Structure 1
Amino acid sequence: MDNRYQKLISWVEDIKDRNHCSASALLILKNDEMVVEHYSGSHSNAEGALPITQCSQFNVASARKSYLGLAVAYAVHEGKIKSLDDYAVNYFEEFDKELLGRMTIRHLITHSHGLNEDENGTVYREFNAGQGWAYRGINVLMMTQLIKRLYNQSVPGLLHTRIFSPLGYKETAWQTDENEKLVKVICNPNEEATFTLGHSNDGTESNLHVSAREFAQWGNLHLRKGNIDGEQIVPKEVIEIATQVQSPVYKSEENPLNGAFWYVQGTPSLKSEIGDRVPKGAFQIIGVTGPTLLVIPEYNVVVAKMYNKRYNYEGINGENYLYYLREFSNLVADTFSE
């Protein structure tokens, strides 16, 4: 292995130890070739837990939004959603029309919708659509359910037919049952890790488990604009809808920019998870359990990083987690810009 990658591996391992994770993985693809494949630790913090291998499947938490984002992009490309600027009220009859107001599909996929949900499940408006940015869960559920209505099948079902099966993915699934390939998640370092499973595999829950290899391949599918080994698995236009900036024009330059849920590098902003040294056009998705999938088209690079602990980077030297997310992507950019 090229010595220049050792700094990235050391960074991943340092954060793993400081965050009390039991597992980590780092895969890097450059020009379709795997230049780094690193696994460390075990499936849980229990004594005798299985070691992490290329077959280990991590819960990727909110990184599942990138899979939903591609389904949304399909719906736009195929005319099931006529335009990202269509009003949401035309698609969500179950919601109060005044609550939805002038909110559009674009607002829902770029976290600029302004909706939130209280502990009783009541949906309310935090701010007018397009006038701010806030990371909430209601938009993900809404879009997941919309795709199911539009296609008469779940997001996982749609993606399995169109992508997972043609590409031979065997280690990407919304899991409802325990099995030895699944990596457990640590919520409290002083307590034993647990499986993070769902009650259903319809895509509405945070139970997507992916191996590091297939996570990297998912990123490479987007980098290659849907063309794998000369075959156009996904229309180029679908990938572009998902990974190009779709955010409305904000009054504040602090807000991050999004494609269809992906974070996209435009002009670096204060609240962005992508470092300021990462080239424009790069895109990234992250999750609360520690996964990061970073794609840098300018360098033909895909980086898949995995951990297994909720709320990583909190409390490290008193720094904000955004600092560490940006630092890692900057380290990647520095590695490949040399």
Structure 2
Amino acid sequence: MGLFDDLDRYTNQIKDRISASAAAVCIMKDNKIIHERYSGYHHFHKGARKVDEFSQFNVYSTRVTYVGLAVAIAINDGAIKSIDDPISNYLTNYDNNVLGNTTIRHLVTRTTGLQFQGKSVVRKFEEGTSFEGKKPEVLAAIIKNATGKTVAETINERVFKPLGLTQTEWRTEGKETLVCDINDPNSYPTLRLESNEGSDRNLYITARELALWGNLHLHKGTMQGQQILPRDLFENVTSKMTPNTLPVQLPRLGYFWWIQDKNVANSEIGPDLPEGTYQILGASGCSCTVIPEQKAVVVRMTNSLWTFGGKNGFDYIADIQRFGNIATQALNQHSYATF
């Protein structure tokens, strides 16, 4: 019996439960891939491509960590003064009285209290006092106004090219290696193709390259002995940046990454994962979990939109917590086996 058999078995059970056609698991530890498994097909219809290491999944909200790193780079470069800069300094088309004291920090930790509606903005609650949905498109606009570059241009230039990553793409047209979305078991498969600027829900990635993304963060900007971005930039991105004004039971985030905090009641990270773990999850079931204590990154890919958000009785929070708990147990066994 393999050390990761339980994890693979659970992943396949979830694939079937959510009516996904495709799944993948990729685990890195100590800078090496120690386990990967691919199952299923790009969709359910005749002629579908079998899933393999070249299959690119739409990762949905997992993409926001790329926007988060882009703003961290802008801050490091001085294009944005600090994480506590008011967003009104960079957004000129909205009412400053409504934007008020909202900062970049509030954006990356999902605590702005604002609701953007086209060219207008309304305040739903005071900044830093409650938790909300993600607003990567607002942050992307700030980045472009501050730097003159899109998120995609920044990340391509500063991360993908130095690391030779070629299978992480904001897709505007289809190709053979893209895994389709399954919206429900009886519908036609779809591809989400949007702008190539870097904030839309069209970021397609292989399991290996998403693991490398997590590994870049784990090793604080170093890969293959090369420091491609400053170490302290990654320290900030993956540390708790949530304002202290947020009630203690609500999630703590870095730059969009959920940070493990055992004092927090509402978290998507499994309770067995150690302090310092950080994670991001997307609507299609794709996730990237970084576990510094185990020097490991765990990636899961699936392609169903049928059950996210509690649809059809599926508890996606319980699922990703269970997945993480099984993964960390397997990694502990791996450490004992190689000791």
Code of the aligned partner of 1:67? Y
Aligned ranges 1:126-275 → 2 under 5 Å: 126-136=124-134, 139-198=135-194, 200-275=195-270
- Where does residue 90 of structure 2 map in the other structure? 91
**Take 1:121 and 1:309, find their aligned partners in 2: how far apart are those partners?**
32
Deviates more, 1:283-292 or 1:121-130: 121-130
Deviates more, 1:41-50 or 1:6-15: 41-50
Contact 2:284 2:304 in 1 (8 A): yes
Using the aligned pairs only, state the percent identity: 38
**Take 2:94 and 2:312, find their aligned partners in 1: how far apart are those partners?**
44
Report the TM-score, using the length of structure 2 for normalisation: 0.94
Flag the 1:312–1:220 CA change in 2: closer, same or farther, 3 A.
farther
Query: What is the Cα-based RMSD across aligned positions, in Å?
Result: 1.7
How far did residue 151 of structure 1 move?
Answer: 2.0
How far did residue 259 of structure 1 move?
Answer: 0.6
Q: How many pairs does the alignment contain?
A: 333
Contact 2:4 2:330 in 1 (8 A): yes
Which blocks of at least 5 consecutive residues in structure 1 are unaligned? none
Q: Give the 4+ runs in structure 1 shifted more than 3 A.
A: 311-319
**Take 2:329 and 2:233, find their aligned partners in 1: how far apart are those partners?**
30
- Where does residue 124 of structure 1 map in the other structure? 122
Contact 2:67 2:199 in 1 (8 A): no
- Where does residue 315 of structure 2 map in the other structure? 320
Code of the aligned partner of 1:229? Q
**Take 1:34 and 1:88, find their aligned partners in 2: how far apart are those partners?**
40
Deviates more, 1:145-154 or 1:156-165: 145-154
Which blocks of at least 5 consecutive residues in structure 2 are unaligned? 334-339
Contact 1:293 1:302 in 2 (8 A): yes
Code of the aligned partner of 1:172? T
How far did residue 329 of structure 1 move?
Answer: 1.3
**2:288 is the alignment partner of 1:290:** no
Flag the 1:316–1:151 CA change in 2: closer, same or farther, 3 A.
closer
Contact 2:171 2:202 in 1 (8 A): yes
Aligned ranges 1:33-72 → 2 under 5 Å: 33-72=32-71
- Where does residue 104 of structure 1 map in the other structure? 103
Flag the 1:123–1:189 CA change in 2: closer, same or farther, 3 A.
farther
Deviates more, 1:91-100 or 1:63-72: 91-100
1:278-319 residue CA offsets vs partner (Å, 9 max, x unmatched): 111111111111110000001001011101111546669945
Report the TM-score, using the length of structure 1 for normalisation: 0.94
**Take 2:172 and 2:179, find their aligned partners in 1: how far apart are those partners?**
13
How far did residue 163 of structure 1 move?
Answer: 1.1
Code of the aligned partner of 1:174? W
- Where does residue 337 of structure 2 map in the other structure? none
